[in-house]
Amino acid sequence: MEYSFTITREDWSLHRKGEVDQQRHKEKVREAIKKNLADIVTEESIILSDGRRVVKIPIRSLEQYRFRYDSRKQKHAGQGDGKSQVGDVLGSEQQPAPGKGPGAGELPGQDYYEAEVTIDEVAQLLFDDLSLPNLEEKKNKKLASETVEFRDVRKHGIQSNIDRKRTILEVIKRNALSGSPGLHGITPEDLRYKTWEITPKFESSAVVLAMMDTSGSMGPFEKYIARSFFFWMVKFLRTKYESVEIVFLAHHTEAREVTEEEFFTKGESGGTRCSSVYKLALELIDNRYPLQDYNIYAFHFSDGDNLTSDNELCIRLIDQLLLRCKLVGYGEIEGPYYYTSTLNSYFKRITNSRFVSVSIRDKSGVYPALKSFFKNPDPKGG
């Protein structure tokens, strides 16, 4: 009797096809996010996420695959009364009726794909090259983390910490010396155990003063830009540093310390006196944060519409802050009018390298502002 067998080999890569495609899609989303960070940073679905972990954001330059058929083999339909001739111009431009707009546009739009991403994914790409500048070691250190390191091997320990490699070597060594080489006859004397040490990691304490203009001249756009910057600043600090304290200060003609919720949700009215928030910042530093214990940073956002007679005092107070702070940052939101305020003109006199000033004209300016404020300067630059 004859038997016949059919031998088949299954292509196991087909079973992983979905996983490979999914991974490839994730990588394309990651590349698109990185390419569009300047726009994504101020995306409303993220800023207004209210603690949600997953948000949908539009990502341009990310295309969906689709079948495209040969148009020459398809049937086509025309439109008209049948009297057109070869060479006739179809759909000529017409002047819009009085009081109406120019009509439908002719230029193609830009497609985008709405992707679901976690805020942590965006944060990871955003915070890769950000750090607190000029951070120094201080007396007041806080425990940031602990790491477990296996540094020694001993003859006694718990069963779960047996070092198999060292144990086998001990057995082989003992058997070779006794004239019976080989791996056999493990005895309690052959057992070796890993031992570990807990290594604490300490961070120097730091405090960041977040100062925002909430006066009547700060319209919805200006407030949104300022809050977008501080949203990512707070997330960056709490993601990368364990021992950073954030103090929230809001001001119009007067300044006060507020809660984080008030800082991001409440608006006010009235005039603007920026010196009020600088005075409050100096008082808090002198009364609460000794220089020998804290690295201190101050960041202020305003539209620059300050009381003109207050500008000279602002300069003097900024000089006082620079004596206490590792970095003082000022962000001016120029809005749609693109003019430089008198306050910013005064600030241009400051030559201290630890004072950084940026101007933001639209949403795309928030990401460069983060990079300007939280980038380590040249250590030789003073």
Per-range mean pLDDT, top range of 23-37, 45-59, 163-177: 163-177
**Residue 29: both structure tokens together:** 């989303």
Overall average pLDDT of the 335-357 stretch: 84
Pairing of strands 206-213, 355-360: unpaired
Q: Which of these, 238, 184, 173, lies nearest to 206 by C-alpha position?
A: 238
What value does the mean pLDDT of the chain take? 79
307 or 93: which carries more pLDDT confidence?
Answer: 307
218 or 26: which carries more pLDDT confidence?
Answer: 218
121 or 93: which carries more pLDDT confidence?
Answer: 121
pLDDT tens, 248-284? 999 999 999 999 999 998 877 778 899 999 999 999 9
CA distance 145 to 118: 25
Alpha helices in 323-361, H assignment, sequence order: 342-347
Q: How confident is the model at residue 371 (pLDDT cuts 50, 70, 90)?
A: very high
CA distance 78 to 68: 21
At 128 the pLDDT is: 82
Per-range mean pLDDT, top range of 8-12, 283-287, 361-365: 283-287
Give the homologous superfamily in CATH for domain 205-381: von Willebrand factor, type A domain (3.40.50.410)
At 381 the pLDDT is: 39
pLDDT tens, 216-257? 889 889 999 999 999 999 999 998 888 899 999 999 999 999
330 or 265: which carries more pLDDT confidence?
Answer: 330
Query: 320 with 298: CB under 8 angstroms?
Result: no
List strand residue ranges (DSSP E) for 40-106, in order.
54-60
Position 186 pLDDT exceeds 80: yes
pTM given for the model: 0.65
Query: 321 with 282: CB under 8 angstroms?
Result: yes
One-letter amino acid for residue 52 of the chain: R
Burial annotation 17-54 (CB, 10 A radius, 16+ → b, else e): eeeeeeeeeeebbeebbeebbebbbbbeebbeeeeeee
pLDDT tens, 155-185? 777 777 788 888 888 888 888 888 888 888 8
237 or 107: which carries more pLDDT confidence?
Answer: 237
pLDDT tens, 289-310? 999 989 999 999 999 889 899 9
**Residue 309: both structure tokens together:** 């007679």
Other beta carbons less than 10 A from residue 141's beta carbon: 15
CATH 3.40.50.410 occupies which residues in the chain? Answer: 205-381
At 217 the pLDDT is: 86
Torsion angle of C-alpha atoms 338, 367, 50, 284, degrees rounded to 10 = -80
Query: 348 with 315: CB under 8 angstroms?
Result: no
Coil, helix or strand at residue 200: strand
What percent of the chain shows pLDDT beyond 90?
Answer: 32
